[in-house]
Structure 1
Amino acid sequence: MKLKFKVQPYQTNAVESVVDCFAEQVNTSGIAYRIDPGVAKNRTEYTQASLLEAHGFKNADIQLTGAQLLANIHAVQRRQNLSLSDKLVSSAGCKVNLDVEMETGTGKTYCYIKTIFEMNKRYGWTKFIVVVPSIAIREGVLKSLEITAEHFTESYGKKARFFVYNSRQLHHLESFSSDAGINVMVINIQAFNATGKDNRRIYDELDDFQSRKPIDVISSNRPILILDEPQKMEGEKTLEALAKFKPLMILRYSATHRTTHNKIHRLDALDAYNQKLVKKIAVRGIAVKGLAGTNAYLYLESIEISKKAPVARIEMEVRQGGGIKRIVKRLERGKDLFIESNELDQYRGFVIAQIDANKDTIEFTSGQVLSAGDATGDVTEATMRRIQIREAIKAHLEKEKRLFTQGVKVLSLFFIDEVAKYRDYSQADDQGEYARIFEDEYEQLKSEYLGELALDNEAYRTYLADINVGRTHDGYFSIDKKTKKLTDPSFKTRGEGAGLSDDVDAYDLILKDKERLLSFAEPVRFIFSHSALREGWDNPNVFVMCMLKHSDNTISRRQEVGRGLRISVNQHGDRMDNPATVHDVNILTVVASESYKDFVGNLQREISGSLSARLRKADEAYFTGRTITTETGVLEITSVMAKQIYKYLLKNDYTDDVDQVAEAYHKAKANGTLAALPSELAPHAEQIFSLIDSVFSESQLPPVGDDRKPKTNPLNANFEKKEFKALWNRINQKAVYRVEFDSSELIQNCIRTLDKELRVTPLTYTIQKGEQANQASYEQLKSGQIFELRETGTEYGTSVHSMVTYDLLGKIAENTQLTRKTIAEVLSGVQTAVFKQFKQNPEHFIAESSRLINEQKATIIIERLSYDSIAETHDIDIFTAGQSKQDFTRASEKLKNHIYDYCVTDSKVERKFVEELDTSTEVVVYAKLPRGFLIPTPVGDYNPDWAISFKEGSVKHIYFVAETKGSMSSMELRAIEHTKIDCARKFFAEINRRIDPEHVKYDVVTSYGKLMEIVGNGETSA
């Protein structure tokens, strides 16, 4: 397998946040300087030394003044909705210190590698040093540099030379200085701030380095320092050491900054979840609960929905011929546990009175209640660990059964305290306690799953059956170099880097062979490792995490779950990040050794604490001065506009008494029922709502689901109805699209549009003059407002120029997905006066030109698009894939006309639609179309919402495919949605053409009433 990388807007934004801080810096490629050749011990060595490159290439100085830098930083902060810095914050002897906050799992390593290439492209800087706090992170950075090399070569046409600093291999340092290309050195802090002999060599004059000090050679290059996890490098000793590198600037990347400098980018836990950039988290908690007057051991695994009545999966003790054994039973209402246990006295009186599938509880006739995940009776630590291991294996197999057909390998990670619990070398087979438990539970669950797998899942059945239990789990720890056996890793217990192991061997397979772990050919699916393995572990396909260890207050739950947040990849190395299905596929299950409520409560508090930098009040002051982007340029929100937004929030109860955003706002937004903004604000609705979203409220916290809540949701008898089969046979047709147009027509349309509509806002700057007041009141002195503004002037156009070098053709070609040749023909055809606007404001010229060209491109696509049917149809298994487990927090009540018992809806509009469909006397059967039913379009695959079959004779159109939207207003539907809907109309027109013009009707509806208008009268909203 080869991991693939693609340009993603959110990562590009992170890169531009850094690079734009230096706008107008002149591109100076490599300032040459004379390298100190050192002093040789003899003539031969002197000759060799003199043959070294005579010149090195260092980073050019930052030419911008402090005021210019701060102005650039403010511009970046405004578009990020960040608080404006009042000054440049110095640290480690450097005046430029930029903080980039990126949530774990969103690819910060990729971002700073891309930033290196972009800084080189725009400004000519070539010397970069990545500083890391541990061996694990160092190995991860090296792996990232290696696997992204080809990707960045394709994007930038050059490669970066990278290496790890080693005081015994200083020839790399010579090349670092003398090479004119991009050079990246990776160094861990122990190499320059520890007291050991090898660590001090960086400051010593070395005979094997021509009597030079490595630190002097490094500092001569004026390197740009990139600190990965800087919160572990904030000690006074480390900062003093970093100053000796004489950095040009310091860029700090972390999800959890402790010290703030000039923060210029934020992608926190809330942003990452809302933008679907990380996995959704689900939890299986286990709570030890005492039931009055009994020692009976009981563990309620889960409640299953069956066709008849809910069934409880309960682990209990059962008398057998060989003694008493704990086994799992599936029990219905009315079952007597005394009888089920073969008359063990501790179960007398335990008769199941009620099984509640909605609350996930069972109640006994005694009135005692157990919830899913509750354990009672003789619950020792060994019992708890066995339950955890079983739950982790169950979660793994459930995910694997669903994801195998999509080519996604599922990995599960167990964190343990010590190797002996997994590998016990005092035993004949080296098996530790956890390894034995794992193999026992795995074999039992494997047999159960093989027996339940449907016949149409033969490929997964074969895969599961063929993997030997002894080969499917392994432990990744340190390896003793003498005995070649696993050993507990040594890791620092205090100070900077506490809890991080510095043993390279512990991470080899995890970090260096991650592609192998992702392949189905590799049998290892369950990984046991040490709890100290925190930062650095970044395999994307961890779907289950199990904490088989005592609570450790030095490791937060956020750090633990962070190891599994990355978006998964399939066997081709493609990210499974389709926005429509990303959180159906990417769900991380955490098996905790505490109750669901306790784990989630603590995790939410940690996430909330990490968002402390977010502003919490949506008042007038917050909105005033913020900027939004319009068709004519950047618009600053005035105090009048800010008051309108504030009153809008108050009027609709979207804020509370202390101006914090209320839950009602977030619910309304999720359901598509937000009140309309005042007419003058409506054109900017999307950006204004984005500003509101940036204000933190507790109701925004990412939901953490209970992994036991999802139920089985099998296809029911409606799926077999002749009316549904007839409907499915009519729409089950695949097609390919063609777009045939003359590129010259597109070019001419673009030229006409640019000549007519392209308007670029000139770059401006404001000059304000003021002086100290003749007299100042106490209040003015206290607030610092003792100066009076006397004069304001604005400079436009020709007096202000950008000094940044732009790849005009490349940028517009990238934005429009057209060739450079096509863009060149368009720009060469526009009027000279129009093209001259480029110099006035290059960024706005590029953005506006791209937008106008894309509009013309979209128009031609729709006009010239056609579909051709092909012989291929959809497999029937798209109805079962992903349906075995769903999040029922958004599910309907049990339905009578749907092909499943339950329907999981995405909005209030859909929930209302389902209620009316299911009670309609005209509807025979309907289905929420599965995610796998996709129509290809030039702007991405499209998944319609509903397929409906009506009673014959009740309506004009018996077979209908519907898309539900809360509004049909063109202002409220995104352009991409419009395009997909237009493409779908042509797709169904092609299907109808082959059979019958009234064969299947497709349309967009806002309600059941609108649907009946269309199917009853034959009208269309097209």
Structure 2
Amino acid sequence: MELKLELLEYQETAIKSIVNVFDGNDKNTFDNACIDGIRSNICTLSNEQLAENIKTILLENGIDEKIAELKDERELTIEMETGTGKTLVYIKSIYEMFKHYGFTKFIILVPSVAIRQGVLNTLSIFEEQLEEIYGFTPKAFEYSSKRLNKVTNFVEEQHPQIMVMTLASFNSEDKILNQAKREDLFANIPFIEAIGRTNPIIIMDEPQEGMDTSNSIKQIAKLNPLFKIRYSATHKVAKNKTYRLTPYDSYKQGLVKKIEVLTVTEKNDEATLKLELSETKNGKNPIQAKIKAWHQLSSGKIEFKDSKWLKDGDNLGKVTNNPSYLKYTISRINKSLRTGKWSVSFHNGVEIFEKQASGNVQSIWALQLEWLILRHFTKKQKLKEKGIKCLSLIFIDKVANYVSDDPIIKNLFIEKYKEIYPEFHDNVAPTTEHIEMIQGSYFAKTTKNEFTDNETSMRKNSEVFDAILKDKKGLLSFGDSISNKIEFIFSHSALGVGWDNPNIFNIATLSNSFSEIKKRQEIGRGLRICVDTNGQRIYDQLSVSDDERINQLTVIPNETYETFVTQYQEEIREVYGTSGAGAGMTHTHRGEKQNEVEFKRSESDTINKAFKRFWNALAKKTNYTVAFDEATLIERSQKALNTIEIADYVAEVSSRTIGAITEEGIEDEFGGKENYKLKAHFSALDLVEEISENTGLSYNTTIEIIGETNHENFAKNPPQFIHQASSLIKNIELEEMIRGLNYHLTDETFPFEFNDFVKQVDGNQYRDTPNRGFYNRMLTDSDIERKFALGADLDDEVVCFMKLPAYYKIPTPIGNYNPDFGIVMKRKRLRDGKESEFYFVIETKGTNDINDKKALKESEIYKIECAVKHFATLGVEVQYKAPVKDYQYFKTEATKDINALIEEA
């Protein structure tokens, strides 16, 4: 089995968002980036130039500067929802940075062994495929204090190097990298200082996991990074955020699995002695606590709610008026010095802790496991037919409940598995050996005979470690190996961040406390799009029904849906400022579905007939040819390059004398400034090669263009000249492409596939269109679309309209294009009173101006210009309007066209 490397547009955008930060940088070579036997990364751009590049990228990616959190620091942030391939994105970014700029030293910094192993797996899995694309393979290795020769090679080698290391390997002074007195030092300096002289680019994978503490910042600074680049879905610290893929975007584009939250919670459990420590306070008075318990109200109703403030000696039975608690008298309210957690002890020996409930958790666990196994078998049957292996992940509260003399959770799992297995296997019972083989647990036995999921201990249990962490292909395949047999994976917390698997289809959280794992992290273990046994990702159509969907993740928490979603939305709000950026979820409570929205075709014969006539005109497919006029391209490029003005390549020396340091700040005196002209070293061949690579032009065409340009500007600062020249030429290429673009009709048409359908959507994702909509409701992606749909639905001159289906795609040289709306309008002719229909296709944007570069990306402008030619090829029946900000603007423009067409008739 080989996992296939895909070319995904959003990943390529994320990669460019890093690579283009260094646009204009001098390419590192042996001559300019090797000092005293150490090959370093050299950045020749000033902070001002880097800042300008970052702002250009933000404009292209549509990210507001406030959201980007711009900082005058050499750090970048890439925010990608879990499961969308951030590891592969930063690995490919490394390849691109060497290809474009000759950077050779990269450190991938990870917070845990689990994540490190995932990175090493990805490097290994895609090594050959990346070699085919780029023609080279970096030397990638795992840092080990026992193999310091690899660190020496990292420092000296000219070939690109990737060192993968955990924060723990150097985050204290006694670590080997920090030691100054050793016999095997590099050039008599600590290894960390030698690494620092290479100015590595540091990739920070999940930096929120401890990389921003004061000690970590100090230790990472010793590595003297050229740049730090942060990758995560849940950043706590963000600086210069150049790319952003939110959970909502990921869901909308079908880049991750859809989520079903199947809740298992206690109902009608008034008879259970459930208690929760909800709040404590420690002031001048004795320590007090509020305890949530069942209260007997005067009305006779039983209600689970907070008590009043309680202290030592208070009896819970009297406070709650509930005789069930009469044996619960508080003996002590205490905060543990070791754990920092509060607890309440009672005279009967019961002790409760903050964030922990003492209800009938075993019954809940049994139900969670029952529904997990049911979902697993139901999905397994459907998925196996498509060559997809189904995996389930179970988080447990403590290791002893799975591995001990009396493993409660393991026993419950075996009991439920034995009950459910025959239902799906012709009433045949599973063997003991089979039940043992299908379980994989990330736990190990320590030297003290205790069980743990500590990563160091886990390494000693290499068989399980390799199966779960290293053998991703085995977990995804059917066969006879240990990895092949595993279907259910049990973990405590070590797999809670960083680890994932594309074929995790079910996740259950078995705990007697409120989950310590963040909801986005918990969900993230199974969000990745699944793969089949050939390593091919299997996608669903965006319009697929829940019953037919393959990529559906079922999450089974032991809390209410409202609690789960509230916590998830709060995490989203912390990051994005609004809970609306989060993923839509399906709620199932013990198998019962809710929140379904039905989209029904209009029953109006007028609307249906009008739309069919419109579709007949619209459905013709086209293809295109592009003819370049090379002479015009060369002439325009020569003229453009001669407009470039490059400032002298200089060094600035300035003096400031500190006069005093006061509470208000530093007082200094300017002593003067001198500039010194410097000589740039760059060959004509380098110039041709760089521009040719950046623009895709042949060497001969490139030579002809630069042969007639002002070489004095090039000599002043070659990298800046190449940066500006490449940008100008690429714009000219695109303009010439549009000029030479011709569409022609094919024999094919888009099918008329419009039936009633049901989707799981939130209220802000659709607009009711009862009057003139082809469907009674319309899916919308933005507030602009919702307002446009409302305007069309209320316009008496509109016969019918709809959001064009996702499969209506117009081919363009820079990717397929899907317009927004199709509208049929009517108007009577004054001359004879006859009524005519007029057809329009609309692209809604945040502007009405095609030249508004702030509101439109370059790619959007060029796709619109291509679409103009496509619709012109269809004939005068279909009028194309783009960009359109609001319905009133469209109506004004449409009226002009209708009047002109009536006059012609």
Per-residue CA deviation, residues 639-677 of structure 1 (Å, 9 max, x unaligned), is: xxxxxxxxxxxxxxxxxxxxxxxxxxxxxxxxxxxxxxx
Is 1:284 the equivalent of 2:162?
A: no
Of 733, 736, 742, the match for 1:866: 742
Contact 2:569 2:579 (C-alpha < 8 Å) held by counterparts:
no
Distance in 2 between the 1:167 and 1:293 partners?
58
Match of 1:222 in 2: 194
User: Residues 273-322 of structure 1, C-alpha deviation per residue, up to 9 Å, x if partnerless?
Assistant: 77999859867374858679999xxxxxxxxxxxxxxxxxxxxxxxxxxx
**Correspondence 1:162 to 2:131:** no
2: CA distance between counterparts of 1:176 and 1:916? Answer: 63
The answer for the alignment partner of 2:788 in structure 1 is 913
- 1:727 positional shift: 3.0
Amino acid corresponding to residue 147 of structure 1 in structure 2: I
| 2:874 matches 1:968 | no
Does the CA contact (< 8 Å) of 1:931 and 1:943 recur in 2? yes
Per the TM alignment, residue 945 of structure 1 is displaced from its structure 2 partner at its CA by: 1.9
**Residues 395-416 of structure 1, C-alpha deviation per residue, up to 9 Å, x if partnerless?**
9999999x99999999764434
Shift of 1:136: 2.1
Determine helix, strand or coil for the equivalent of 1:939: coil
Q: Name which of 681, 695, 702 aligns with 2:581.
A: 702
Q: Is the 8 A contact 1:77 1:264 kept in 2?
A: no
In the TM superposition, what is the alpha-carbon distance from 1:699 to its structure 2 partner? 3.9
Residue 865 of structure 2 is aligned to residue 985 of structure 1 = no
Q: Which has the higher strand share?
A: 2
Task: Select which of 756, 762, 787 maps to 2:668.
Answer: 787
Cα displacement string for residues 502-545 of structure 1 (whole angstroms, at most 9, x for unaligned residues): 75544545555546767899999975432421344243565764
Distance 1:946 1:147, change over 3 A: same
The Cα of 1:1015 is off from its aligned counterpart by 6.3
Alignment match, 1:713: 598
Distance 1:215 1:434, change over 3 A: farther
Q: Which amino acid aligns with 2:822?
A: A
Shift of 1:606: 4.6
Task: Give the aligned partner of residue 1007 of structure 1.
Answer: 887
Q: Quick check: 1:557 aligned with 2:515?
A: no
1:984 Cα deviation (Å)? 2.4
* Pair 1:236–1:220, CA change in 2 (3 A): closer
Letter in 1 for 2:638: I
Other-structure match for 2:38: 59
Is the counterpart of residue 851 in structure 1 residue 727 in structure 2?
A: yes
Query: Do the aligned residues in 2 keep the contact of 1:73 with 1:264 (CA within 8 Å)?
Result: no
Structure 2 counterpart of 1:902: 777
SS at the partner of 1:988?
Answer: helix
Shift of 1:979: 2.7
Q: 1:162 Cα deviation (Å)?
A: 3.2
Per-residue CA deviations over 1:137-169 (Å, capped at 9, x if unaligned) read 232122222234345535653222334467888
Shift of 1:943: 1.0
Change (3 A) 1:9 1:407: farther
Report deviation, 1:935. Answer: 1.0
How far off is 1:936 after superposition?
A: 0.8
Amino acid at match of 2:72: L
For residues 578 and 846 of structure 1, the distance between their equivalents in structure 2, rounded to whole angstroms, comes to 43
Matching residue of 2:499: 537
Partner amino acid for 2:598?
N
Residues of 2 paired with 1:423 and 1:872: CA distance? 62
Normalized against structure 2, the TM-score is what?
0.64
Identify the match of residue 598 of structure 1 among 555, 559, 563. 563
Change over 3 Å in CA distance of 1:394–1:585 after alignment to 2: closer
Q: 1:246-273, CA deviations, whole angstroms, 9 ceiling, x for partnerless residues? A: 9665976655899999x87546978787
Matching residue of 1:11: 15
Q: How far apart in 2 are the matches of 1:838 and 1:525?
A: 62
Determine if contact 1:956/1:1018 at 8 Å carries over to the other structure: no
Which residue does 1:49 correspond to in 2? none
Please tell me whether residue 891 in structure 1 is matched to residue 766 in structure 2: yes
* Cα pair 2:441 2:491 within 8 Å, conserved: yes
Q: In structure 2, what is the Cα distance between the partners aligned to 1:729 and 1:257?
A: 44
- Call closer, same or farther: CA 1:851–1:267 in 2, change over 3 Å: closer
What amino acid maps onto 1:978 in structure 2?
I
SS at match of 2:816: coil
Q: How does 1:247-326 map to 2 (within 5 A)?
A: 249=225, 266=241, 284=261, 286=263, 288=265
Q: Give yes or no for contact 1:747–1:826 (8 Å, CA) kept in 2.
A: yes
Cα distance change of structure 1 residues 783 and 177 upon mapping to structure 2, 3 Å threshold: closer
Deviation of 1:926 (Å): 2.8
Is contact 2:584-2:761 (8 Å) kept? no
Distance change >3 Å, CA 228–CA 291, structure 1 → 2? closer
> Whole-Å Cα distance in 2 between the matches of residues 257 and 805 of structure 1?
44
Distance 1:820 1:252, change over 3 A: same
Structure 1 pair 719/814, CA: closer, same or farther in 2 (3 Å)? Answer: farther
Cα distance in 2, alignment partners of residues 293 and 184 from structure 1? 59
Cα deviation for residue 934 of structure 1 reads 0.8
2:694 counterpart of 1:821? no
| Shift in alpha-carbon separation, 1:979–1:83, aligned structure 2, 3 A | closer
User: Matched residues in 2 for 1:867 and 1:530: separation?
Assistant: 57
CA distance in 2, matches of 1:605, 1:281: 19
- The one of 53, 62, 71 equivalent to 1:83 is 71
Match of 1:940?
815
Q: Specify every segment of 5 or more residues in structure 2 that has no aligned partner in the other structure, as ranges.
A: 57-67, 273-358, 427-433, 588-593, 829-833
Q: C-alpha distance in 1, partners of 2:787/2:233?
A: 44
Number of residue pairs matched by the alignment: 751
The one-letter amino acid of 1:873's match is T
Contact 1:718 / 1:925 at 8 angstroms: preserved in 2?
no
- How far is the alpha carbon of 1:191 from its aligned partner? 7.8
SS in 2 for 1:728: helix
Distance 1:393 1:267 in 2: 43
Cα displacement string for residues 410-460 of structure 1 (whole angstroms, at most 9, x for unaligned residues) = 976443457999999999xx996447758988999999xxxxxxxxxxxxx
In structure 2, what is the Cα distance between the partners aligned to 1:64 and 1:924? 60
Q: Deviations 1:718-768 (Å, cap 9, x if unpaired)?
A: 49834333333332233321113343443333334434x444455667665
Does residue 415 (structure 1) correspond to residue 395 (structure 2)? The answer is yes
Q: Residues 59 and 743 of structure 1: is their aligned pair in 2 closer, same or farther, counting only changes over 3 Å?
A: same
Counterpart Cα distance in 2 of 1:599 and 1:863:
54
Aligned-partner residue type, residue 602 of structure 1: Q
State the distance in 1 between where 2:550 and 2:456 align. 34
Q: 1:735 corresponds to which residue?
A: 622
- Determine if the alignment matches structure 1 residue 724 to structure 2 residue 611: yes
Counterpart residue type for residue 11 of structure 1 = I
Q: Is the 8 A contact 1:270 1:702 kept in 2?
A: no
* 2:560 aligned partner, one-letter code: S
Conservation of the 8 A alpha-carbon contact between 1:808 and 1:846: yes
Residue 830 of structure 1 corresponds to which residue in structure 2? 708
Q: TM-score, normalised by structure 1?
A: 0.57
Does the C-alpha gap of structure 1 residues 139 and 723 become closer, same or farther in structure 2, counting only changes over 3 Å? Answer: same
| Distance in structure 1 (CA, Å) of the matches to 2:498 and 2:738 | 47
The secondary structure found in structure 1 opposite 2:815 is coil
Cα displacement (A) at 1:903:
1.1
Residues 165 and 185 of structure 1 are in contact (CA less than 8 Å); yes or no, is this contact kept in structure 2?
Answer: yes
| Closer, same or farther: CA 786–966 of 1 in aligned 2, 3 Å | closer
The answer to whether the Cα contact below 8 Å between 1:737 and 1:867 also exists between their aligned partners in 2 is: yes
AA of the residue aligned to 2:823: I
* Deviates further, 274-283 or 739-748: 274-283
- Rounded to whole Å, the distance in 1 between the matches of 2:363 and 2:265 is 13
The amino acid that maps onto 2:363 is A
Q: Does 1:746 align with 2:594?
A: no
